[in-house]
Amino acid sequence: MHETKFCTNCGKSIPRDAEFCPYCGHGQAVATQTTQQTNPQPNTAGSTYQQPQPQPGDAVYNESPVPGLVVSTKLYLRDALTINKRMGRADYWWAALGISLLAGAASLVVFFLLALFGGLDDAYEPTGLSALFFYALLLIMFVAYVGLWIASFTAEIRRFHDLGYSGAFWLLNLVPMVGGLIVLILLCQPSRQLNNRYIN
């Protein structure tokens, strides 16, 4: 009977001594034992395209043991002034969601307070205690905005470090029209452990 083996890529039956699969062209390892042509195991992908697989040693990294909305948001805020660490993908995106929810809630409160004190009227001229409250609210909003921008800036740098890239990749945000999209695509990539100079 004709000795066969199965292609390591597409799963089709090929001659035992074949170095390359005649169907998909994938290189084959030298066969160590013979198999009979019985039930070939086809590739479950269904096409020649396969999902990128993590390289050996590329494990998922997250600083928090179980990333979640509250835990990751606390990590995001705690490390707001830290750039010499890494931030895993799950921690980053959970924290981004948490910060967005907090910012949305704070915006609703500010909008309500401004409406309550008449600050939304076009002819509003703050005077006395109303002026003090209005300008204090503007100052608090400005400080919060700057703080969140700094936290976002450092979180993106830490996320780039998790990918093995320099924090200077943040400057891609400054490229008109496509820079933000490029950064978004990079931030969605999985952790890279191999040859990552930012692993301590």
The structure tokens listed for 29 are: 């390892």
Which residue, among 192, 194, 197, has the nearest Cα to 162 in the 3D structure?
A: 192
The answer to whether residue 29 is domain-embedded is yes
* The predicted structure's pLDDT at residue 54: 55
- How many structural domains does the chain have? 2
The structure tokens listed for 15 are: 């001659």
Residue 186: pLDDT above 70? yes
Domain interval for residue 25: 1-51
Q: b or e along 123-137 (b: 16 or more beta carbons within 10 Å of the residue's beta carbon)?
A: eeeeeeeeeeebeeb
Residue 152: pLDDT above 50? yes
The answer to whether residue 30 is domain-embedded is yes
* The predicted structure's pLDDT at residue 122: 62
d(CA 169, CA 117): 44
Same domain, 38 and 100: no
Same domain, 43 and 79: no
Mean pLDDT for the stretch of residues 141-154:
95
Mean pLDDT for the stretch of residues 182-188:
96
Range with lowest mean pLDDT among 39-43, 68-72, 119-123, 130-134:
39-43
Q: How many CB atoms lie within 10 A of CB 191?
A: 21
The answer to whether residue 181 is domain-embedded is yes
The answer to whether residue 74 is domain-embedded is yes
Same domain, 42 and 130: no
Same domain, 158 and 117: yes
